[in-house]
Chains A and B, each alone.
Chain A
Amino acid sequence: MRALRLAVVALVLMSPLVLSAQTTRLRLASSLPANSLWDRSLKRMASEWQKGTDGRVRAQVRPTAGDESTVIRRMRMNNPQVAALTPLGLQEVDEAFSVFGIPFFFESEAEAVHVLEALTPRLRDTLAENDLVLLNWGHGGWAHIFSAAPVTTLDDFRKTKVFTSAGDDSMVQWYKENGFRPVPLAFTDVLMGLNTGLIDAYPSSPYGALAFQWYRQTSHMLDVALAPLFGATVMTERAWRRISEADQNAMLKAAVATQEALFVDVPRQDREAVSEMQTRGLTVSTVDAAAAASLRAEAEKLTASWRGGIVPADIFDAAVEARAAYRGR
């Protein structure tokens, strides 16, 4: 009897040790193509998590063909526990993330990063309200307008038949209200749309236009960037809680290093993509500073309706304020 009691005590004493030594296996869902810069950076981060936690946290990056709304629904069941979300996925979580998609809102990468950093506490809270933990920001490059005919003004843009994501009704409505000609299509139908003349313009990062070969039907790119494509790696609160604080810190350290690398590598990749497309017939339409300012000013008037419409008013105002602070430095 005494032996049994001792065994029970020993087991009870041991259990925290056993628990702390357990391996947490995570599944990291990603819709990013295998062997792309993003895929490699996620796998490198997963590898760093494993090393930084002495093998206690192991993440497996798994491709998901399903749309991101399915991934987000699955995360409520805590499987996957981690996901690399694109801007569209983040907007599914909360419309506050639409703030980075306001057309021609940012003048430079540095300005956009400044606003991103300023809004991070608020956006982290937004994710927390959805039981998600922000691990790092991702960078998908900057969307530019690609078109069959040159576009250097918003009036030029109005003449195009521009692709917009099917199902994004508020965007379609905004386009129409402002005299544009949106054509809602599934992402997978863009090439078909370009080949058949259904569309002749689309917003895309230079790398995207190159990789999907869309640029071959649209030989013009406006040099003035439309908007940054900021994504994020998020983790379910439930899975996060089960990881010790020390291991959480190790994971965050690797996540931050991944973010820093992405914010250097992705813009570089886009510059290389532009250069490659130029050798294959792409014309980059540059405009002078005055024309760029005029374009931004006109866009600012048109996108004022985003406040409280597409983007919640408080986050819209916070972005304007942070941008003003950056410009006033």
Chain B
Amino acid sequence: MVTEQGRNRSGFLAVVLVTVALSPGCSLRSMAVNAVLPTLVNPDVYLSDEDPELVRDALPFLLETLESILEADPARQDVLLFANTGFLLYANAFLQTDSVIAEWDDYDRAAELNERARRMCLRARDYGLRNVEVDYPGISERLRADPEAAVEVFEPEDVESLYYLGGAWMLAVSLGLDEPALVADLPAARALLDRALELDEEYERGTLHSAFITLESVDGSYASAREHFVRAVELSEGQDAGPYVSLAAGVAVAEENREEFRQLLETALAIDPDEEPSNRLLNLVAQRRARSLLDHIDDLFFEPLDEDDGGDPRTDQEIRP
């Protein structure tokens, strides 16, 4: 039942909306958008979801919507940051993870997914650059010319922007190592993440340290990767599966430490995603990767090689059928 008071309020609202709609320089659309945007661009909604497939299906529509909003309001920083975050999340959590898993059976499919992930990361990077350009005009050019000096301007309140921009850029480079133009930007991506770590090493309960496990292991700096692992686990109080999976895939495989690999992944799988709701989605994604890696443990590790050489011609190791 509609009360008198309710009718009056609706009438008032209608008048206001019509008036606003007719006002020059403003629109109903932008009002509605402004009202709903803070909710839409809140990544916590997605990161705490218990159903990765729902997020996978929902994100593209949201991202396309945000791109339309940015066409009308190109310097809106909260939307730029979410576009950076959202495209990176979609590329990393879904496309890249799918690609890594597809690689066990189908290289063509894995390559297609990788290529999509690379393109998404570049979109994420471009939104991230636009985001920091609002506060630091000309920073994109300076990042490419002299990255270590350029990042000095950033302040502690920029850490979130640095993390998502640096992460998107770094992932784009790692997925496009056959493109020298992209590879040349590696120092810029690295400088952004280094600066973020310098400004707030505790950011998001060790998220930056978690990223550095992969960065250092790719460089072959396994001791450093292990130091970041210890700190990431400490800051996340062992509730983030990411560091365990990163160390297993990046370091334990490289060091041919099968037992450590297994232990790390089993620890990752033992984490209850509901214990830390703000990280639920990423924990579920990391656990998906952990299961895939454990399933293929025999493909990842060679048989031990005797120190006195493995040249016994009678020995004939075969990988499992």
Name A's B-contacting residues (CB within 8 A). Answer: 23, 25-27, 33-37, 39-40, 43-44, 46-47, 60-63, 65-66, 70, 73-74, 76-80, 188, 207, 210-211, 213, 216, 238, 269, 272-273, 275-277, 280
In whole Å, how far is B207's beta carbon from the nearest beta carbon of chain A?
A: 23
Q: Which of A47, A213, A216 contacts B107 (CB 8 A)?
A: A47
In whole Å, how far is A270's beta carbon from the nearest beta carbon of chain B?
A: 8
Contact A65 B220 (CB under 8 A): yes
Contact A277 B184 (CB under 8 A): yes
Q: Known contacts A65-B253, A269-B178; decide if A43 and B111 are in contact (CB<8 Å).
A: yes
In whole Å, how far is A241's beta carbon from the nearest beta carbon of chain B?
A: 12
Q: Which of B177, B180, B255 contacts A65 (CB 8 A)?
A: B255
Q: Closest chain B residue to A269 by CB distance?
A: B180
Contact B315 A35 (CB under 8 A): no
The answer for the CA separation of A137 and B315 in the assembled complex, in Å, is 28
* Stretch from B61-69, B79-87, B303-311 at the A interface: B303-311
CB-defined contacts of B106 to chain A, threshold 8 Å: 47
Q: Known contacts A76-B310, A77-B303; decide if A65 and B254 are in contact (CB<8 Å).
A: yes
CB-defined contacts of B181 to chain A, threshold 8 Å: 272, 276
Mark interface residues in B78-120 (1 if CB within 8 Å of A CB, else 0).
Answer: 0000000000000000000000000110111011001000000
The answer for the CA separation of A266 and B300 in the assembled complex, in Å, is 28
The answer for the CA separation of A243 and B176 in the assembled complex, in Å, is 34
Contact B183 A210 (CB under 8 A): yes
Query: What are 13 A-B contacts defined by CB distance under 8 Å?
Result: A23-B321, A25-B321, A27-B319, A35-B178, A62-B299, A76-B310, A77-B316, A210-B183, A272-B181, A273-B183, A276-B184, A280-B144, A280-B184
Q: Which of B108, B176, B302 contacts A79 (CB 8 A)?
A: B302
In whole Å, how far is A264's beta carbon from the nearest beta carbon of chain B?
A: 13
Contact A43 B107 (CB under 8 A): yes
Confirm or deny: B70 has a beta carbon within 8 angstroms of a beta carbon on chain A: no
CB-defined contacts of B114 to chain A, threshold 8 Å: 35
Given A25-B321, A35-B174, A272-B179, 5 more pairs with CB closer than 8 A: A27-B319, A34-B174, A35-B176, A78-B316, A80-B302
The 4 nearest A-B residue pairs measured at CB: A65-B254, A79-B317, A37-B178, A272-B180
Q: Closest chain A residue to B118 by CB distance?
A: A35
Q: Closest chain A residue to B309 by CB distance?
A: A73
Contact A25 B108 (CB under 8 A): no
CB-defined contacts of B300 to chain A, threshold 8 Å: 62
Q: Which of B104, B316, B320 contacts A238 (CB 8 A)?
A: B316
The answer for the CA separation of A149 and B181 in the assembled complex, in Å, is 25
The answer for the CA separation of A70 and B144 in the assembled complex, in Å, is 39
The answer for the CA separation of A46 and B319 in the assembled complex, in Å, is 16
The answer for the CA separation of A280 and B187 in the assembled complex, in Å, is 12
CB-defined contacts of A36 to chain B, threshold 8 Å: 177-178
In whole Å, how far is A176's beta carbon from the nearest beta carbon of chain B?
A: 29
Contact B321 A77 (CB under 8 A): no
Q: Known contacts A25-B319, A77-B316; decide if A210 and B184 are in contact (CB<8 Å).
A: yes
CB-defined contacts of A80 to chain B, threshold 8 Å: 302
CB-defined contacts of A63 to chain B, threshold 8 Å: 253
Q: Known contacts A35-B178, A62-B300; decide if A213 and B186 are in contact (CB<8 Å).
A: yes
Contact B177 A73 (CB under 8 A): no
Q: Closest chain B residue to A47 by CB distance?
A: B107
Contact A216 B187 (CB under 8 A): yes
CB-defined contacts of A34 to chain B, threshold 8 Å: 174, 177
In whole Å, how far is A146's beta carbon from the nearest beta carbon of chain B?
A: 15
CB-defined contacts of B259 to chain A, threshold 8 Å: none
Q: Closest chain A residue to B254 by CB distance?
A: A65
Contact B302 A188 (CB under 8 A): no
Contact A79 B319 (CB under 8 A): yes
In whole Å, how far is A183's beta carbon from the nearest beta carbon of chain B?
A: 19
CB-defined contacts of A207 to chain B, threshold 8 Å: 180, 183
Task: Tell me which of B108, B145, B175, B303 has the highest count of chain A C-beta atoms within 10 A of its own C-beta.
Answer: B108
The answer for the CA separation of A78 and B316 in the assembled complex, in Å, is 6
CB-defined contacts of B317 to chain A, threshold 8 Å: 77-79
The answer for the CA separation of A65 and B257 in the assembled complex, in Å, is 12
In whole Å, how far is B228's beta carbon from the nearest beta carbon of chain A?
A: 18
Contact B256 A66 (CB under 8 A): yes
CB-defined contacts of A26 to chain B, threshold 8 Å: 319
Q: Known contacts A27-B299, A238-B316; decide if A35 and B253 are in contact (CB<8 Å).
A: no
Contact B187 A213 (CB under 8 A): yes
Confirm or deny: B157 has a beta carbon within 8 angstroms of a beta carbon on chain A: no
Q: Closest chain B residue to A268 by CB distance?
A: B180
In whole Å, how far is A278's beta carbon from the nearest beta carbon of chain B?
A: 10
In whole Å, how far is A170's beta carbon from the nearest beta carbon of chain B?
A: 23
Q: Closest chain B residue to A238 by CB distance?
A: B316
Contact A79 B180 (CB under 8 A): no
In whole Å, how far is A58's beta carbon from the nearest beta carbon of chain B?
A: 9
The answer for the CA separation of A269 and B184 in the assembled complex, in Å, is 12
CB-defined contacts of A277 to chain B, threshold 8 Å: 184
Confirm or deny: B318 has a beta carbon within 8 angstroms of a beta carbon on chain A: yes
